[in-house]
A and B are shown apart, each in its own frame.
Chain A
Amino acid sequence: MSNKRKIGRGVAIVGAGMSKFGMFPDKDSKDLFAEAFSEMIASVDKGFDPADIQAAWIGNFSNDFFVHQAHWGPIIADLVGITPKAVTRTEGACASSTLAMRDGLMAIASGMYDIVLAGGVEEMSKCTTEEVTEGLALATSPYEGDAGYTFPGVFGALATAYFHKYGAGREHLMNITIKSHENAPLNPKGQFQQTIRDLMEARKAKAAKKGEPVPEWADEKEALFDPRFNPPVAWPMHLYDCCPISDGASCILMVAEEIAKNFTDKPIYIVGFGQGSGRGLHACPSLTSFEANKQAAAEAYGMSGLTPKDIQFAEVHDCFSIAELIHIEDLGFFGEGEGYKAIAEGETRREGRMPINTSGGLKCKGHPVGATGTAQMYEVWKQLRGEAGERQIPGRDLYIGATQNLGGTGGTCTFTIFERR
C-alpha cells in the first residue's frame, strides 16, 4: 500500500541557505535564521523577491525549553517580512525541519501554493549541558525516561545490541567518527573543523604547555580508546560518538516544478519522500533497526521508482555514531550487519562507493535540532549542483542524493530523495 503514494505535481528546490553552526552567545534564533535566509535569497540564480513567498513552515523542536520562547511561526514571518501570510511551526524533535519541508511539499503538490519557504532553527547553547540533556530527553519515549535513559543512553543500548548480534565493537564506530572528522575541515559552516589527528595534536600541545605528561597515541583509535581524550557519556557512547550542542538555522525555497526554471536553470527536484513513526525500546520490533526508517524508505523508494542502488550519496542523521550505522543498513545502502564492514573498508568516505555525510554530519557540522533537516538538504543541494567546494564528491557526475532525518530516539524518521535532471 505505502509504496503507491505519489506527489500530485512536481516540486523543486530553487534556493538554499544555512547559518554557520556552532555555539554563539551573541546570536539568537532570529539572527541565525536571518543569516540562513540571506544566503538562500542570494542562492536563487535568477533572483528572487522574498515578498513572493506565499507560505512558510518552520521546524523548531524546543526553543520553548531552551530559550523560553514558543510560537516561532509568526516570529520568523515578521523577521523575513512575509506577514500576514501563513507561517506554521512544525515539531518532530530532531526531524522538525524535514517535516516543514514535507508540509511545503504537500502544499505545493496539492496546488494550494506555488512558492513556499521551509526551514528550521534551534538555539541550544545558552543552556548548560545538563539542561540540554534534560531538554532532549523530553523526546525519548516516556518509559525510557522512567528507566533513567538519556538520548545517548538509548543509542548506547542499541549499540550493545548491534555489537552482540553482529560481532562489531567500539573500534567500528570509531571509523564513523574518524571519517566525519576527515570531512569536517572542508565545511566552513560546520561547528568543528578539525580532524581527530588535529584534535590529538592540540591535546598534546596543551599538556606540554601545562607541564603535564604528553599523551602518546599511535593512531586515532588509540586516542579514542583513551578515556582522558574520549570519556564515556552513556557506554558504549563516548564523547566522540556524540554530536555537539549547537545553535543554527537553515532554509530552502520550494516551488512548483512548472515554474522552477523561472528561478534557476539547475533546480533540484524532490522525487521521493517517506515518513514513519516508531515506538520505544520496549516495543520496537528490532533493537538493531528503526521501524520508522523502514517505513520512510519504502515510501520514498516507491514514490520515486528508485532503489537503494540508485542513491549516489546521502546525508544521514548521525546524532550518535551507531545511528549512522543503523541508518545506512535500514535504507538498504548496505545489508543488515554489513554496514560496519563497509565503513571499515572506506566505502562511506568522500572518495568511497557511497559517500555518507560529506558535510561532516551532525557530529562535526553540529546539530541545532530544528535546523538539521533542511541543513542536510542544503548539503545535497550543494553537492548535486557541484557547488560543495573542497568537499565536493570527487570524480562523479552526481544526479541523485538523499537525506535521512531522525527525530527523538527513532519516534520519527524521514527519507527524502532529490534529483538533478
Chain B
Amino acid sequence: MEERPISDISYRQFLEEGKFMGSKCDKCGKVYVPPRHFCMECGSSDMRWHEMKGEGELAAFTCVFVAPPYMVELGYNRKNPYCTGVINLPEGTRMVARIEGVDASKPESIKIGTPMKVDFIKQGEGEKARTFLAFRPAS
C-alpha cells in the first residue's frame, strides 16, 4: 500500500524511481494520470495510487525543431529534433510524453496508432539530472 500524498510532487518522485503511477478513485474506479485530487466522474476525493500498465497507442505527436532553452541544454536543436506525443492508455485516459525510438528528423515515418510501451529517460547532469516519462514503439 503506497502512502505517499496524491500530488504532482509524488508523481515525479515515482518517475525518478522508474514507476508510472496514476490515481484511482476508490468510489467509482476511474483512473487518472497524472494523479488528481478529485474524481471528475463522481466528485470523490478518496484517491489511491495505481500503477499504470505502461502500454498505449500513439494518438498525436510533434517533432520539435525549435526547442526551448531547457531542451537545448540537453543537446536538442534544429539539426537534432526530438519527438513528443500524446498516448492513449488502456486505462481509459491519455498522457503526454516524450517519444523515443522514432526518427524525429523524419516525422513522416511516425504513425498515429502505433502500439507503444513506457520508458523512463534520465537526462541532465548533477542537480539538473531528471527522469522524463517517455514511450517507445512496443515492437
- Residues on A facing B (Cβ under 8 Å): 129-131, 133-134, 137, 142-144, 146-150, 152-154, 156-161, 164, 231-237, 280-283, 287
Contact = CB atoms under 8 A, between A and B. Distances in A.
Contacts of B68: 130, 133-134, 137, 148, 150
B60 A232 contact: no
B13 interface: no
A149 B62 CA distance: 8
B66 A146 contact: no
A160 B62 contact: yes
Contact of B96 (A129, A149, A158, A161): A149
27 contacts: A130-B68, A130-B69, A130-B72, A133-B68, A133-B69, A142-B8, A146-B132, A146-B133, A147-B96, A148-B67, A148-B68, A149-B62, A154-B62, A157-B86, A160-B61, A160-B62, A160-B112, A161-B59, A164-B60, A164-B113, A232-B107, A234-B64, A234-B65, A234-B66, A281-B96, A282-B34, A282-B93
Contacts of B59: 161, 287
Given A143-B34, A150-B66, A282-B86, A158 B98 contact: no
A143 B22 CA distance: 13
Given A144-B96, A282-B96, A157 B132 contact: no
A235 to B, nearest CB: 4
A144 to B, nearest CB: 6
A233 B66 contact: yes
Contacts of A143: 34, 95-96
A281 B61 contact: no
A287 B93 contact: no
A153 B96 CA distance: 12
A232 B64 CA distance: 8
Ordered nearest first, which 7 A-B pairs have the shortest CB separation? A156-B62, A161-B60, A235-B63, A235-B107, A157-B60, A147-B96, A164-B112
B65 A149 contact: no
A398 B64 CA distance: 42
B20 interface: no
Max chain B Cβ within 10 angstroms of own Cβ: one of A146, A232, A280, A283 = A146
A144 B113 CA distance: 20
A16 B106 CA distance: 47
B71 interface: yes
Nearest to B104: A235
Nearest to B8: A142
Given A146-B133, A281-B96, A282-B34, A153 B84 contact: yes
B94 interface: yes
A143 B64 CA distance: 16
B49 interface: no
B82 interface: yes
Contact of B94 (A154, A233, A283): A283
Contacts of A150: 64, 66-68
Contacts of B84: 147-149, 153, 157
Contacts of A158: 60
Nearest to A233: B66
B137 interface: no
Contacts of B64: 148-150, 152-153, 156, 234-235
Nearest to A129: B66
Contacts of A235: 62-65, 81, 107
B53 interface: no
A199 B94 CA distance: 41
B85 interface: yes
Given A157-B84, A232-B81, 17 more contacts: A130-B69, A130-B72, A133-B68, A143-B96, A146-B96, A148-B84, A153-B64, A157-B61, A157-B85, A160-B61, A164-B60, A234-B64, A235-B62, A235-B63, A281-B60, A282-B93, A287-B60
B133 A147 contact: yes
A262 to B, nearest CB: 49
Contacts of A152: 62, 64, 66
Given A282-B34, A283-B94, A148 B71 contact: yes
Contacts of B61: 156-157, 160
Nearest to A128: B69
B128 to A, nearest CB: 14
B4 interface: no
B120 to A, nearest CB: 13
B122 interface: no
B62 A147 contact: no
Nearest to A284: B94
Interface in B48-102: 59-72, 76, 78, 81-82, 84-86, 93-98
A287 B70 CA distance: 26
